[in-house]
Structure 1
């Protein structure tokens, strides 16, 4: 009978250890997943900001080119006499 109780105690102890290890692994996996999600969000935010900055810079360059062309066209127009 004593051997059975010792065996049950050993099995119970092993079960508790396995449970604790599973819980720690689950917590570590959750932390890693949260960290990856935060990193992915930061990368997406950075990319969105860079894309917006590039779009704004292109729009400004296009406007400057259009303004320069309009100024050049105006400079080339012949002067109209005043009546």
Structure 2
């Protein structure tokens, strides 16, 4: 008897759950999706053509020039860093020489 009541209650809950649909296609109809979107876009100005937009060829050329400039800047930075390291080594040698001279 308890088993029959349990099965009947389970079946009743299962059938009750089937009473409503959660299918997204039924909820997303034009009235609930497109109309609010259209209303939201009603006050947006129309797009305009940007006369200053670069063509693909111009963008590629600009990128090449930029890469060349970046490589040149990197080369100059490396040369400056090497000169700074040389100066630091010379300063260290001079400091060591000065300490040696003072120790005598």
So what's the TM-score if we normalise by structure 1? 0.59
Q: Deviations over 1:56-78 (max 9, x none)?
A: 1xxxxxxxxxxxxxxxxxxxxxx
**How many angstroms apart in 2 are the aligned matches of 1:7 and 1:50?**
63
Name stretches of at least 5 consecutive residues in structure 2 with no aligned partner: 1-53
Q: Does 1:22 align with 2:70?
A: yes
Q: Does 1:42 align with 2:95?
A: no
Q: Deviations over 1:18-61 (max 9, x none)?
A: 000100110011000000000010011001001001101xxxxx
Residue aligning to 2:48: none
So what's the TM-score if we normalise by structure 2? 0.47
Which runs of at least 4 in structure 1 moved beyond 4 Å after TM superposition?
Answer: none
Q: Considering only aligned residues, what root-mean-square deviation do their CA atoms show, in Å? A: 1.2
Name stretches of at least 5 consecutive residues in structure 1 with no aligned partner: 1-5, 57-83
How many residue pairs match? The answer is 51
